[in-house]
Amino acid sequence: MKSFTRLALLFCLSLLFASCSFLVDINHPQECTPLFNDESRLVNSADSYFYRARDFDQSSDEVWLSFRDFSGVDTIHRISCSQPCLVSLGLDVLVDSDQYKLVLVDVARQKVLPLCQGPYLGRCLLYLPAGTHALRAVGCSVSGRVIATLDILGDN
């Protein structure tokens, strides 16, 4: 009976150690760095990402995102235009690495427009053709926050 108790205790301890494995840093920057230059992965509608912590809030004209240890590709906002329009996109990006960028993907035309990489504060004036456009974050073991504001200036 004593050996059974020891075996059960050993089994429980091994389960405990296995369940705590998420505390180990599982990010591997060398594996996600190619994302930055691979447009075929950026136009793919599937998101693939990891956040150690994430706080997200969104409205029709603003996105607020705070995160820790982000790696991968994540769609943080979608813009749908029934006709071509002029858009002012304000970006306030505060991140701890240049291994983070925001891109705008024209879903129908499969085109990627880089907006910023690393920390950035400013506005982009964009002419968007009719259709759906995805604001996507691409990162590699990065922490920080993003505030994006969207103003539609006019239709064509």
CATH T-level fold of 27-155: Jelly Rolls (2.60.120)
The pLDDT of residue 27: 45
Which amino acid type is present at position 98? Answer: D
96: nearest Cα among 41, 42, 146: 146
Q: Which pLDDT belongs to residue 43?
A: 79
Residue 155, pLDDT score: 63
pLDDT level of residue 49 (50, 70, 90 thresholds) = confident
Residue 25 has pLDDT above 60, yes or no: no
Higher pLDDT, 112 or 31: 112
Model pTM greater than 0.85? no
Looking at per-residue pLDDT, the higher value among 142 and 35 belongs to: 142
Average pLDDT along the chain: 82
- Scan for tokens 């230059």, then name that residue: 37
Reduce the secondary structure of 45-113 to three states and give it as a string. CCCEEECCEEEEEECCCEEEEEEEEEEEEEEEEEEEECCCEEEEEEEEEEECCCCEEEEEEECCCCEEE
Residues near 110 by beta carbon (within 8 Å), at least 6 away in sequence: 43
Instruction: Flag whether pLDDT at 23 surpasses 70.
Output: no
Q: Which has the minimum average pLDDT: 22-31, 93-102, 120-129?
A: 22-31
- Is residue 156 pLDDT above 80, yes or no? no
* DSSP secondary structure code for residue 22 in this structure: G
State yes or no: pLDDT of 14 exceeds 60.
Answer: yes
Domain boundaries, the chain: 27-155
